[in-house]
C-alpha cells in the first residue's frame, strides 16, 4: 500500500531538514568564534568528562604553584636574615678577639668594643625577629608579636611547630626555621652572649674564653642557613616539575576542548553551502499552486 504524501508533510519535512542544517551551521559558528569543540556536556559527554578531570588537575597544580611561590618567599627571607646574622656574628667574633688582647687595650677602647657588641646584639635580635607578611619566620606557627622577647630573649615558638607547605601530591616542605636552634634562647642565646661579653669587657675580665661560645653560635646560624638553602633547592626543583606538569595539562586540555580552526572553517563553508542549497531546493519543490489558494 502506498502511503499518502501531502503538501503539508513535505513542508514539515523540509522545515525539519532546514532546521537541522541551521543548527549544524550555528554549532560550527560557535566553534569558529570560541575555538571550543563543545558548548555543553551533552554535545560530547566523553570529552566533557575528560575536560572536567583535566580542569581538576589544573586547579590542583595551580594551588601547588601558589604554595611553592609562598614557600620560596619564606626561605628567601630566612636566607637573607641568616646571612645578615652570620655577618654580624663574624664581626662580633673579630671584636671578641680584639677584646681578648686586654693588655693592649685602654679602658676607652674596651668601652668602644663593648658598645659595638651591644649594638650587634640588638641588630641580631632584629634579624631573629624578621617577619614576612606579618608572620615570624623564626617562630613557627606562633602568632606572637616577636619570635624573641627583648630583654629576656625568651623564645615564642613551640618545639616542632613548623610551617609546612604542600608542594606535591605526596610532598610537603617546612619553610620556616626553628629560631631557638639558630640563635638559642634566654640566657643561652646569641643576644645574651654578646651582652655578657660586653659586660665582661667593661669589668676588665678576660674574654678570651668566650670565643668558643661565639663560634658555637656562628656555627648554629650557618647550619640553619644551610638547611634553608636545602629547602630552597627542593622548592626550585618542585617549581620546575610543577611547570612541566602545568604545560602538559594545558596541552591535554587543548587537545580535548580546542578545535582545529582550519578544519572548522572548511566545515562551516560546507554547512553554509548545504543550507543555501536546501533553501533553493525547498523553494522549488514547495511552490504554491492554484489548488492551494482554492483550498
pLDDT at 50 over 50: yes
Backbone φ and ψ for 146, nearest 5 degrees, come out as -145, 150
pLDDT tens-digit readout, 109-129: 899 999 999 999 999 999 999
More confident residue, 193 or 41: 193
The rounded percent of the chain whose pLDDT value lies above 90 is 52
Question: Which of 102-111, 197-206, 235-244, 285-294 is most confident?
Answer: 235-244
In this predicted model, what pLDDT tens digit does every residue of 67-110 receive, in sequence order? 999 999 999 999 999 999 999 999 999 999 998 886 678 888 89
pLDDT surpasses 60 at 288: no
Give the pLDDT score at 45: 84
pLDDT band at 232 (very low <50, low <70, confident <90, very high): very high
- Residue-wise pLDDT tens digits, 131-169: 998 889 999 888 888 999 998 999 998 766 689 999 999
What pLDDT is attached to residue 275? 65
pLDDT tens digits for range 171-194: 999 999 999 999 999 999 999 999
Identify the residue whose cell numbers are 607578611: 133
Which three cell numbers, joined as nine digits, stand for 292? Answer: 492551494
Beta-bridge partner residues of 165: 173
In this structure, what C-alpha cell is assigned to residue 240?
620546575
Picking from 89-103, 202-216, 267-281, which range would have the lowest pLDDT averaged per residue?
Answer: 267-281
- Name the residue ranges covered by the structural domains of the chain: 53-253
Q: What is the mean pLDDT of the chain?
A: 84
CATH topology of domain 53-253: f41 fragment of flagellin, N-terminal domain (1.20.1330)
Q: Is the pLDDT of residue 264 over 80?
A: no
**How confident is residue 290, by pLDDT bands cut at 50, 70 and 90?**
very low
Amino acid at each position: 500500500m502506498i502511503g499518502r504524501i501531502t503538501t503539508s508533510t513535505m513542508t514539515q519535512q523540509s522545515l525539519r531538514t532546514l532546521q537541522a542544517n541551521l543548527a549544524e551551521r550555528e554549532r560550527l559558528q560557535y566553534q569558529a568564534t570560541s575555538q571550543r569543540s563543545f558548548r555543553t556536556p551533552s554535545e560530547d559527554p566523553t570529552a566533557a568528562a575528560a575536560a572536567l578531570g583535566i580542569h581538576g588537575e589544573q586547579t590542583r597544580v595551580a594551588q601547588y604553584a601558589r604554595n611553592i611561590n609562598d614557600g620560596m618567599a619564606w626561605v628567601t627571607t630566612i636566607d637573607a636574615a641568616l646571612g645578615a646574622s652570620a655577618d654580624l656574628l663574624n664581626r662580633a667574633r673579630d671584636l671578641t678577639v680584639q677584646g681578648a688582647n686586654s693588655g693592649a687595650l685602654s679602658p676607652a677602647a674596651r668601652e668602644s668594643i663593648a658598645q659595638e657588641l651591644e649594638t650587634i646584639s640588638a641588630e641580631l635580635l632584629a634579624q631573629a625577629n624578621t617577619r614576612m607578611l606579618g608572620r615570624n619566620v623564626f617562630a613557627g606557627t606562633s602568632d606572637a608579636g616577636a619570635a624573641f622577647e627583648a630583654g629576656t630573649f625568651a623564645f615564642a615558638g613551640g618545639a616542632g611547630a613548623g610551617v609546612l607547605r604542600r608542594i606535591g601530591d605526596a610532598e610537603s616542605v617546612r619553610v620556616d626555621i626553628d629560631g631557638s636552634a639558630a640563635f638559642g634562647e634566654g640566657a643561652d642565646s646569641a643576644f645574651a652572649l654578646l651582652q655578657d661579653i660586653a659586660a665582661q669587657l667593661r669589668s676588665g675580665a678576660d674574654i678570651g674564653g668566650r670565643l668558643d661560645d661565639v663560634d658555637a653560635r656562628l656555627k648554629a646560624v650557618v647550619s640553619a642557613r644551610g638547611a634553608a638553602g636545602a629547602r630552597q633547592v627542593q622548592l626550585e626543583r618542585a617549581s620546575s616539575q610543577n611547570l612541566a606538569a602545568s604545560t602538559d595539562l594545558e596541552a591535554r586540555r587543548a587537545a580535548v576542548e580546542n578545535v582545529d580552526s582550519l578544519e572548522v572553517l572548511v566545515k562551516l563553508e560546507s554547512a553554509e553551502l548545504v543550507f543555501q542549497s536546501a533553501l533553493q531546493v525547498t523553494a522549488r519543490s514547495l511552490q504554491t499552486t492554484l489548488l492551494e489558494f482554492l483550498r
